[in-house]
Structures are given as structure tokens and as C-alpha cells.
Amino acid sequence: MWLEMRGVERRFGKTVAVSGLDLTLPQGAIGCLLGPSGCGKTTALRCVAGFEPVDAGEIFARGRLLSSRGVTAPPASRNIGMVFQDYALFPHLTVLDNVAFGLHGQSRPARERRALDMLEIVGLLECRERYPHEISGGQQQRVALARALAPQPDLVLLDEPFSNLDIDLRGRLSLEVRGILKQVNATALLVTHDQNEAFAMADLVGVMQDGRLEQWDASYELYHRPATRFVADFIGQGAFLPGEVLSADAVSTELGVLAGDVPLQYRACDQIDLLLRPDDVLYDESSPLMLEIVQKAFRGADFLYTLALPSGATLLSLVPSHFNHGLGDRIGVRIELDHIVAFTRSG
């Protein structure tokens, strides 16, 4: 594995910022640590960069031990490129000189050639003679990326790289940056609290809570097969519906018997909470199941309707936007589940 973290722990006094963190990243993959404020994602990234020591566990890159208890290879020796939230470009250097800055031990023409190649990859060749304040925030972040990639690091770390940018630009830039990282076959680890960014950028996403990595998986799996209730709640939208397991492929709920593969750990009579995503609740005018709309949000291509159940619980349903209903209307829906995502009933 290109990057491997085994049982990494980092404490600050009584605060356990990172606890028992295991993850691996193959060469050329983009990983992302995602989670709410204070969950430990920045600390985990700083441990990989060598800015923080680890109190337990090990970090390896390309099989080389970088950190373990009492061992912290200096950041400069790790062959790691960093991209920060605030770009951290040198204001008195041109774009070209910023990118060439980290290329030690090469002749000036070789450094310049490499920096020009990198600027071409990030699409900023025409800005090479400008200073950072003469280009936009999105462009500055691409310069920072070019600078991080120029020395061909083993690993690129990106710490909330788009959080200073407006939301439209963020969406566009995250896809662009992914394209650039893939083009040069870089292995990267990103930290963000924005799941759209994580999904747009990463091959593997880890959801953290209270210093622990709850799941390290492809985005699709996090959404469709969340390993814990926290991940199910944190990723995407949805509602939990109480149910009782009837068999390996049926659950009894307020909405009737729902068919779908029940996770293996549950048996008949188990009380569960079933996760229903908005895309599991399909609009169907011919369905006998009619539910009242209590909230609606227009999203362009579709509406997100909040539907009330007789018990007072609510469901979310994603409906194509030509079915424009008013609050209080009752619409027909059909529940369609491939496999059931369930958790032991809480409370």
C-alpha cells in the first residue's frame, strides 16, 4: 500500500483527537477524511504530514516508516506535497517562481521547465508572470496545487482546499483538481467537512466521529451501505422508520411489509430502524399508499418532498419537478428497496 495508517492515536491532554485510526490508500488513489468540526480529521492529516507526532500506531508511505510512538520523520524528509486552505503562496514571487520554489537541487532551466509543465497541467500557463494578488482565488489554489505537485511527491495532502471559495467555484474546482491529480497519477489525502466535495474528489472516503474512523469506503458504499448509524445519518439524506424483521427478506413497518434483503445479523422479531433514502421513496400515482406533503424544496430537476406518516414520522421523497404539488396534497408513493439498511432500534 502506498499510504498505510495503523492504529494511529493522537492525544492532547485528555482529548483523544485521533483514536485507533486504520486506513490504506493504494498508489494513484484519492482518499478523503470527512466529518463534523472537531472529529479529528485535521489532526490525522497533520500526523501524516509530520506536523504532529503520534502517541500510538504507525504511519507508512511506500513501505517506509514515517511515524510511530517516539519516531517522527521531519516533514521535509517525507516527500509530501501540501495544499492548504489559505493557498500559502509567496506574495512577492510570480506564479512561475511560486511553482518552481520547491524544486531544490536542479538547475534553474530545469526548474523552470518543470514549473512551466505544471502550470500547463493546471491550465495557468498564461498567468506565469503574474503575482498571486493578480489572479483569482480559484487560480491561486491551482497554483498551490501545481507547486505541491512539481517535486513529484509520494503523497499530496489537501487541507480543506476549497473552503475559501464560493460554492459554485468549489464544485467546479474539486472536479478539476481531481482531474489534475489523476492526470499525474498522484496519491492524495484530502480533509473536508463538505460531503459534496468528498464525493466529487475522492475514490475512498472515511467518515470520522470523535477521533474514530467509522467507515473507509467508496462514496457509493457509504451512501448505500453505511456501516454505522452515524454514517447513515451524516451521509446524504434520509429517514429512519421503525420496523420488525419478519424473515430474511421482509420487514413489517407502518407502511406495510417491505421486501428487500435484511442484513444477516438480524433475525425474525428483531426490532430495527430502517433507513429510507429519498430515492427509495418513488412517486407513483397508482399506488394505494397516499401520504401528505408537509414540506417541499425545489431543487431544479426535482422536488424534495417531506411526507407525513400517520404516526407522525416523516419520509423524504425525490420527485421529478414536473410533478408540482402543494403543501397538504396527498401523493401516491411506492417504497422500493434493493437491500435493507437497518440498525438496532435506538432508545
Q: Which is nearer to ligand ATP, 28 or 38 (CB)?
A: 38
Interface of this chain with ligand ATP, residues 201 to 260, rule: CB under 6 A: none
The residue whose Cβ lies closest to ligand ATP is: 42
Torsion of Cα atoms, 116 then 118 then 121 then 122, to 10°: -100
Q: Considering the complex, what minimum distance in angstroms separates the CB of residue 30 from ligand ATP?
A: 18
Q: Which is nearer to ligand ATP, 9 or 244 (CB)?
A: 9
Residue 19 or 94 having the CB closest to ligand ATP: 19
Q: Rounded to the nearest whole angstrom, what is the least distance from the CB of residue 115 to ligand ATP in the complex? A: 31
Instruction: Kindly determine how many residues on this chain lie close enough to bind ligand ATP according to the rule CB under 6 A.
Output: 12
For position 12 contacting ligand ATP by CB under 6 A, the verdict is yes
User: Least distance in Å: CB of 55 to ligand ATP?
Assistant: 12
Which positions from 69 through 108 interact with ligand ATP, judged by CB under 6 A? Answer: none
Q: Which of residues 19-58 bind ligand ATP (CB under 6 A)?
A: 35, 37-43
At closest approach, how far in Å is the CB of 193 from ligand ATP?
5
Q: How near is the Cβ of 170 to ligand ATP at its closest, in Å?
A: 16
Interaction mask 162-201, ligand ATP, x per CB under 6 A: -------------------------------x--------
Could you list the residues that contact ligand ATP (CB under 6 A)? 12, 15, 17, 35, 37-43, 193
